[in-house]
Structures are given as C-alpha cells and as structure tokens.
C-alpha cells in the first residue's frame, strides 16, 4: 500500500480499546447460556442472546433473560443498547435504552424489549441476538450546592432554542 493510501489510517491510529476482564457465570453459578463475543475487529458492542423462545406482540414489552451473570471491575459500567437492525427492520428496541448494568450487580442480565411495530408479532428463539452491550469507564459526580451556577454562552436555551430540523 502506498504511503498516500495509508495516511488516513495513520491519522486513526490509537492504542485501541482498553481490555477489561469480565467474569461470567450462568444463573445460580451454572454454566453461562453463552459467552459474549465481538463480531468484528473494532466493534464496541458484544451481542446479548435470549435464553428463551418468545413472541412479542405489537406494543408489548417482554423482559428477556439472557442466562448470564457478569462481574466487571469497579469504575466500569455495561450499557445495553438496542441492535440497529432489529430497531430499524422490526421496531424492536429497549424501553430503558441504554440499560445500565452496575459493576456491583450479580444478578442475571435481563433485557427489556418493546415491539414498536404496529402490526407484526415477532418470534425470537433461544440464542437469538436481542441487544448489545458496551463496556465503558464512568465518572461519579461530587455534588456541591451553590447559590448560582456559572454563566455560559448557552445559558438556559435548549429544546430547540437554535431551531428545529434546520
Ligand atoms: O437493562 C437492564 C438494566 C438493568 N439491569 C440490572 C443491572 C442493574 O445493575 C440493575 C439495576 O438497574 P437500574 O438501576 O437501571 O434499575 P432500577 O429500576 O433503578 O432498579 P434498582 O432500584 O434495583 O436500582 O438491574 C438489567 O439486567 N438490564
Ligand atoms: Mg437504580
């Protein structure tokens, strides 16, 4: 490859993602239903799979068990996001997106799904990929009450203060 062709890639060079140890069991310390994995190099999301067969009717919500329990180090959080294909093609998304999995949570990961398709009932089988999880570092706030907040250019403008759509 010419150095001209690799130049854009060089501009994207980094040390790559931080690799975080994640401990995994199944429910009640049984075998996990699956081991999460990344489909492609560069993917931030590892897919979560359903532990059950189920149908989800239009506008119905289903709390889907995954058959896995995880432990991550303190200072990290798992965020559960919808899969774009399910959202766009089937209207399947998460009513609580993104779901927050705290580092201290030892229960089974469950995924609330909602079917926003007005007419289709969708069927899912055990093992189907229903959502994806992203591991992130987080900060905690130290909340300090003050008499007034510092001035800013935006001030109290929001909710379309700069115009809507254009
Ligand atoms: O999509 C999700 C969201 C949360 N959880 C689990 C892990 C998380 O640590 C715990 C609590 O989540 P959250 O704080 O969002 O729920 P809550 O309604 O505030 O419940 P709680 O009172 O238990 O904090 O539930 C899931 O399994 N799936
Ligand atoms: Mg909570």
Q: Residues 94-106: what's their mean pLDDT?
A: 98
The response to whether residue 96 sits with its C-beta less than 6 Å from ligand 1 reads yes
Ligand 2 centroid–CA 11 distance in Å is: 40
Q: Are 66 and 132 in contact (CB under 8 A)?
A: no
Q: Which residue has the tokens 């399947």?
A: 92
Q: Tell me if 39 is assigned to some domain.
A: yes
Mean pLDDT within 53-70: 98
Considering the domain boundaries, does residue 154 fall inside one?
no
Q: What is the ipTM of this complex?
A: 0.99
Residue 147 lies inside a defined structural domain of this protein:
no
Are the C-beta atoms of 128 and 87 separated by less than 8 Å? no
**CA–CA gap between residue 134 and residue 43 (Å, rounded):** 9
Domain of 64?
17-137
Number of compact structural domains in the chain = 1
Q: In the predicted model, is pLDDT for residue 18 greater than 60?
A: yes
Q: 5 lies in a domain?
A: no
Banded pLDDT at 5 (limits 50, 70, 90): confident
Q: Is 100 in the pocket of ligand 1 (CB under 6 A)?
A: yes
CATH number, residue 23: 2.70.40.10
Mean pLDDT computed over 13-20: 93
Q: Is residue 144 part of a domain?
A: no
pLDDT at 150: 98
């Amino acid at each position: 490859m010419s150095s001209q062709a690799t130049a854009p890639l060089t501009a994207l060079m980094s040390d790559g993602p931080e690799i975080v140890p994640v401990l995994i069991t199944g429910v009640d310390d049984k075998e996990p239903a699956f081991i999460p994995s990344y489909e492609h190099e560069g993917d931030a999301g590892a897919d979560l799979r359903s532990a059950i067969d189920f149908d989800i009717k239009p506008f119905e919500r289903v709390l889907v068990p995954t058959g896995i329990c995880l432990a991550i180090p303190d200072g990290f959080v798992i965020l559960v996001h919808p899969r774009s294909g399910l959202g766009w093609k089937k209207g399947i998304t998460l009513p609580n997106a993104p779901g927050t999995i705290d580092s201290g949570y030892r229960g089974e990961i469950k995924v609330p799904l909602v079917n926003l398709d007005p007419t289709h009932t969708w069927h899912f089988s055990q093992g189907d990929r229903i959502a994806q999880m992203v591991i992130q570092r987080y900060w905690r706030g130290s909340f300090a009450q003050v008499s007034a907040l510092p001035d800013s250019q935006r001030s109290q403008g929001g909710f379309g203060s700069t115009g809507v759509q254009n």
